Amino acid sequence: MSGPLDGRVAVVTGAGAGLGRAESLALARAGARLVLNDLASGAVETVAAEIAAAGGQAVVAAGDVGEWSTGERLLAAALGAYGRLDILVNNAGVLRDRMIFSMSEQEWDTVLRVHLRGHFVTTRFATAWWREQSKQAGGPVYARIVNTSSEAFLLGSAGQPNYAAAKAGIAALTVTTARSCARYGVRANAICPRARTAMTAGLMGPPPPTSPSPGTGAVDPLAPEHVAPLVVHLASPAGEAINGEVFVVHGGVAAVLDPPRIRATFQAAEHGSPDGMWTLESVEAALAGLSSGSGFMCEDTLALAAETIGFGRPSDADAPQLRLAAAKIIRSRTADAEERRPVRRDRNRDRRPGRRLRALGARRRGRLGPRSGQAVPAAVPRGRPDTAALRPDRLSASA
Ligand SMILES: NC(=O)c1ccc[n+]([C@@H]2O[C@H](COP(=O)([O-])OP(=O)(O)OC[C@H]3O[C@@H](n4cnc5c(N)ncnc54)[C@H](O)[C@@H]3O)[C@@H](O)[C@H]2O)c1
């Protein structure tokens, strides 16, 4: 239990199971002392015992992260047990999936409360503490936040309006925290993970019969342990230069997202406006050629690693092709980001690499068969990406 986080103290929410458990164990292995939060169920005590048995230190501060008082108690637990707080990993989450037109007030409120308010409450108290410490020290202090968003917000997840909205909010909260608290030393980033957990069991099914330990043969690409190294890295001194980013991570692949960018700019003056300001007529003229495909979405991440979409394994022939295509996307996006100049006209969207890759992914998915014993989305039409079926965390309310 020694590594880059020696001497550091980390709070992890939702640490009793799934990703939170894997991240807590990894943080402890890297040397951090832990404050573990989850609902009072006994599961989080088991994780604390696992850490202690392996020679680490962990205390439990159970409670609902949506409660203001839980935020206060988590900070107090860190200061009480260890005298400091260095790292906050916001991970706790639940699902209450329903189409927007059927969703109850309670389903909406529960998900927004646990995810978005749950991130806010802990972040509020942690950042207040770090700001105070920074003022006393007369300079930045060591402070890391790793938030948990989801690809659901990138994909316009149809049955998850509450969850997608909360996860989009978490991405925005991450960016605003990063910007507002950088001067105090805070580094805030978010991950969009994929992992086989209680939350995704209905979609991903049981793990394949493989060896659980990397390096000894086949591994389950959807094991939550594969997400934890990025969390540890972002929490470590090596993460100093990384702030305000949103990552997608699963199996053996990670992607850092570009921020939303302008696709086309319209000037009223070029569309018949007498004074250069918008009129209904000039808006109609300007947008006459605009037609939405997927809208404000990012589906590129679906093809990053075919083995972690929750069903099927890539054939030996397909896997390298998909990896190559994914690498091309990342290269082209990096090049685009370097250009960063305003676009004045619609780009030819069909020429964007994401479209080409999606078509490739869809073709390949059409050939995939289910992995034995796995739950498989009912209908994945051949030749067309079924993004609804591929969402890793789209399932009935279960957590
Ligand atoms: N598993 C995936 O593929 C996936 C994908 C995208 C995002 N996520 C996100 O990752 C995070 C962890 O999910 P997971 O897959 O490990 O799910 P999980 O259900 O295994 O674990 C979630 C944990 O959060 C705890 N929790 C729930 N409500 C809480 C509350 N109010 N206060 C404190 N703890 C609470 C649960 O008890 C549980 O231990 C969630 O935020 C989830 O939305 C997961």
Q: Determine the distance separating the centroid of ligand 1 and the alpha carbon of 199, expressed in angstroms.
A: 7
Binding site membership of 60 for ligand 1 (Cβ less than 6 Å): no
Mean pLDDT, residues 5-20: 98
Quick one: pLDDT at residue 214? 56
In a domain, 397, yes or no: no
Range of the domain at 128: 9-256
In a domain, 322, yes or no: no
Q: What share of the chain is helix, strand, coil (3-state, %, to 5)?
A: 45, 10, 45
Binding site membership of 148 for ligand 1 (Cβ less than 6 Å): yes
Binding site membership of 393 for ligand 1 (Cβ less than 6 Å): yes
Q: Which residues of 48-72 are buried (b: 16+ CB within 10 A; e: fewer)?
A: beebeeeebbbbbbbbbbbeeebbe
Q: Which amino acid is at 256?
A: V
In a domain, 144, yes or no: yes
Give the pLDDT confidence of 182-225 residue by residue, as tens digits. 999 999 999 999 999 999 988 888 887 765 555 655 788 899 99
Binding site membership of 310 for ligand 1 (Cβ less than 6 Å): no
Give the pLDDT confidence of 32-49 residue by residue, as tens digits. 999 999 999 999 999 999
In a domain, 285, yes or no: no
**pLDDT band at residue 339, thresholds of 50, 70 and 90?**
very low
Quick one: pLDDT at residue 387? 35
For ligand 1, atom 27, which residue shows the shortest CA distance? 93
* Beta partners for residue 189, in sequence order: 146
Give the pLDDT confidence of 241-293 residue by residue, as tens digits. 999 999 999 999 999 999 999 999 999 999 999 999 999 999 999 999 999 88
Q: Which residues of 276-305 are buried (b: 16+ CB within 10 A; e: fewer)?
A: eeeeeebeebbeeeeeeeeeeebbbbbbbb
In a domain, 85, yes or no: yes
Cβ-Cβ contacts under 8 Å for 133 (sequence gap 6 or more): 141, 184
Q: Determine the distance separating the centroid of ligand 1 and the alpha carbon of 331, expressed in angstroms.
A: 32
Alpha-carbon span 96 to 107, nearest angstrom: 6
In a domain, 18, yes or no: yes
Q: Determine the distance separating the centroid of ligand 1 and the alpha carbon of 334, expressed in angstroms.
A: 31
For ligand 1, atom 25, which residue shows the shortest CA distance? 14
Give the pLDDT confidence of 144-192 residue by residue, as tens digits. 999 999 999 999 889 999 999 999 999 999 999 999 999 999 999 999 9
Active site members: 150, 163, 167
For ligand 1, atom 17, which residue shows the shortest CA distance? 199
Binding site membership of 93 for ligand 1 (Cβ less than 6 Å): yes
Give the pLDDT confidence of 84-139 residue by residue, as tens digits. 999 999 999 999 999 999 999 999 999 999 999 999 999 999 999 999 999 999 99
Q: Mean pLDDT for the chain?
A: 81
Statement: residue 381 has pLDDT above 60: no
Are 57 and 34 in contact by the 8 Å Cβ rule? The answer is: yes
Binding site membership of 189 for ligand 1 (Cβ less than 6 Å): no
Q: What is the full DSSP assignment across 216-285? A: SS---TT-GGGTHHHHHHHHSGGGTT--S-EEEEETTEEEEPPPP-------GGGGT-SSSS--HHHHHH
CATH number of the domain bearing residue 40: 3.40.50.720
- Please give the tally of structural domains in the chain: 1
If one compares 306 and 163, the residue with the highest pLDDT of the two is: 163
For ligand 1, atom 9, which residue shows the shortest CA distance? 148
